[in-house]
Amino acid sequence: MYGGVTRGAQVTGVAVCSLCLTWISTVLRFYVRISILKFVGREDWLTVAAMIVFTVFCSLCLLDEYYGLGAHMENIDAGSLQTGFKIIFICELLYVASTTVTKFSIAAYFLRLSIKRYQKIVIYTTLSVVIVFSTMYFGFLLFQCAPISYLWTKYENGQGKCLRSPILASVTYAHCAMSALTDWSFGILPIFFVWKMRMNPRTKLSVILILSLGFFASTATIVRIVYIKQLTETDDYSWQGINLVKWSMVEPAIAITAMNIATLRPMFKNFFNFASKKLDSVDEDDGRPSGDSQKPFRGHANSVNANDYSVEFAELLGLSRVGVTTMITAGGSDAERSQMRKRFTMRRGSSSKEKYDSESQTELNPVPVLNENIDWVGGIKATTVVTQSRQ
């Protein structure tokens, strides 16, 4: 549909890499949620929505390459030029939609992890800024020309008018600044999630790094600003705009991939636990003492106190909660007390492999009594439940 040289192959490479990274990470995310955590939340469905919008966006960019994206405008016939700019117009709107839905998904995930009121306030404030600026920018792009169709019909003697390039660039700069600031906000917030937790420094650092990966999406946003400026200084939009298109795909791709990686810690934890068990079994087969007999219990080094955060926080990030729980029972036979102990252990999350150590707070929890008539003659029994598992 055009002649001469083209840089369209760059769009193909970026689009394919972006789609592969985002879809692979999304599949792994749902593997963790369905197979390991047995839980799918609203943030996961928002991720699916972001992936659908992003996939359509990349697909249209690939399609636009056929109509001259990456070639000089003078080498593109009028019909293809009109179709190409129509596709670019749709891609601009999809870019705003994909980045907005992605930030919604990140906010929903952080809301599930937040345990303090000020953390929720920061998330809701950031989300409000995203909604306001994204809505304004979406409307600005939608009505940048009057009539809307003049954006592409002007290349076939259409009638209408569009905003001047400097005005369009200024509004785009404002949206980019908002996007970068919200990325920084979501990147810094995880530090406050774990800052005061009694947690092993290595585990604390890994949690912060994983949750703050979305910070790198702001890099692509800043790079886009440079190419927006270049686009205001030329009339060869299909040739010079290729860089802006590429980084418009990279930005949501980084955000979605980073967001998905932040949910994969339970999978990595299971993998390393499996590898550790295999190593212990090899030690036993060789007749050497296992790692547990040579080293003291390491639960304190790799765990955090159960009072510092919720069970949901621990499960979503694949952390181990530690604690000592005391159960008080009165009367009854040994068989009844054994049954109560089993029910108590199941209720306290034995199936989720929670970890306890002696430095944790002692909890006193009421336990259902099997018989309403308590046999005080049988005495009062105090049972301390301590379970351990390798991290």
Average pLDDT on 231-250 reads 88
- Cα separation, 178 vs 279, in Å, equals 49
- The answer to whether residue 129 scores a pLDDT higher than 80 is yes
Strand ranges (E), the chain? 145-146, 161-162, 304-305, 321-322, 324-330, 362-364, 380-385
In this structure, the strands spanning 324-330 and 321-322 are unpaired
Convert 208-245 to b/e letters by CB count within 10 Å (16 or more is b).
Answer: bebbbbbbebbebbebbbebbeebeeeeebbbbbbbbb
> Mean pLDDT of all residues in the chain?
76
Block residue for tokens 């840089």: 7
**Percent residues over pLDDT 70 in the chain:** 68
- The answer to whether residue 350 scores a pLDDT higher than 80 is no
CATH number for the region 8-263 comes to: 1.20.1070
pTM, to two decimals: 0.72
| Per-domain residue ranges of the chain | 8-263, 299-385
- Cα separation, 115 vs 354, in Å, equals 19
Question: Counting Cβ atoms within 10 Å, is residue 159 exposed (0-12), middle (13-18) or buried (19+)?
Answer: exposed
Give the pLDDT confidence of 352-389 residue by residue, as tens digits.
444 333 333 334 444 444 444 555 555 555 554 444 43
- Cα separation, 364 vs 145, in Å, equals 68
Give the pLDDT confidence of 47-86 residue by residue, as tens digits.
999 999 999 999 999 999 999 898 988 888 888 889 999 9
In this structure, the strands spanning 324-330 and 380-385 are antiparallel
DSSP string, 344-358: HHHHTTGGGT----T
Give the pLDDT confidence of 291-307 residue by residue, as tens digits.
443 444 344 444 445 45
Average pLDDT on 277-282 reads 50
